[in-house]
Structure 1
């Protein structure tokens, strides 16, 4: 079987090499690039993200990546967001009083976690829904988180009766927050699968199997 071709979006976000290596180890043929044709032609696109929500959105806009991400999703071509690359698919991010408009695929505001210890750094369990494809076989495993902000309220209105609502996975650090979303071609995780050992490797393999 031919390897799936995956592009890891190179828009200036730091520490993406570990994601490239993890995807290669999971069996993908991986290219780190911001080239439009490569992004559109790939079997899967991974949107990584570290740092501030506003700066990630700025870089995505500056490189033109927002257009190509939107075109992939509209065409039903798989996209996986990681960490801040998960957060930007929501409507808005609020950090240090700065409000930044997100991509807006899902309703919700990325806000500072309500917890005694910030950032949320380390291993934590998640609560995936039944029939989750991403978490198949790893429903009870722990994953590695590094973040201070998250979506803590999920309010998704299904506007059409035939529309399938997204599958939402939750975790808890001080308060409940969205740890992952699966929504047709678009999936995203708040944690770092590339730093989550065997469980993260299995999650990446599960995603590759959906491509």
Structure 2
């Protein structure tokens, strides 16, 4: 079972349905015990970083997410959920994140169109279990802020939007995708399938 963490901000239904299409049970929940018992967890997110962190703290789910990450079971942040994994964001002021990955989230700077919205091609930076049997292609982005990981080893994939842009991050069983895999066609579903496969391995372990 994969827990879709409900803290009041995220595409919960579409993520849940995508996981179910892969033949895995998905439960949308804010219950700490249910989340911690799951073989995998997904932290979705749409909206502002500061509001999301405020919701997580008010519900106590910030501590639950950190506790879950410490178990070593697979955890995936999607879009804003990926950004929340980092130390801080400059969106509408400086806001502290979950600090599971060191780095900052900053606004795009330039005369080009913001937000970055549409289909862009991924470039994998290093090998890993998430990419086994997966060929890079295009995925769907919608964001005005992007992550700058401190550790190069945490950067798994980038895309190009007038500069290299962090697209996938990861360390151990912790992953984040800036794009929406559930809206990204065949490649998005393939990446989700690889994540689901990791949760099945966690269950067997």
- Return the match for 2:19 from 16, 23, 38: 23
Find the counterpart in structure 1 of residue 203 from structure 2: none
Of 167-176 and 74-83, deviating more is 167-176
- Return the match for 1:185 from 148, 161, 173: 173
Report the secondary structure of 2:131's partner residue. Answer: coil
Report the secondary structure of 1:95's partner residue. Answer: coil
Find the counterpart in structure 2 of residue 122 from structure 1: 118
Residue 132 in structure 1 maps to residue 122 in structure 2? no
- Return the match for 1:168 from 156, 164, 172: 156
Q: Distance in 2 between matches of 1:143 and 1:74?
A: 29
What is the number of residues matched between the two proteins?
198
Deviation at 1:154, TM superposition (A): 3.2
Q: Higher helix share goes to which structure?
A: 2
| Structure 2 gap segments, 5+ residues each | 200-205
Residue 105 in structure 1 maps to residue 100 in structure 2? yes
Find the counterpart in structure 1 of residue 74 from structure 2: 78
Residue 38 in structure 1 maps to residue 26 in structure 2? no
Find the counterpart in structure 1 of residue 202 from structure 2: none
Q: Distance in 1 between matches of 2:90 and 2:136?
A: 31
Find the counterpart in structure 2 of residue 53 from structure 1: 49
Find the counterpart in structure 2 of residue 162 from structure 1: none
Matched-pair contact (CA < 8 Å) for 1:128–1:139? no
CA RMSD of aligned residues (A): 1.5
Q: Distance in 2 between matches of 1:130 and 1:111?
A: 24
Report the secondary structure of 2:124's partner residue. Answer: coil
Cα 1:15–1:73 change in 2 (3 A) is closer
Matched-pair contact (CA < 8 Å) for 1:27–1:205? no
Q: Distance in 2 between matches of 1:89 and 1:209?
A: 22
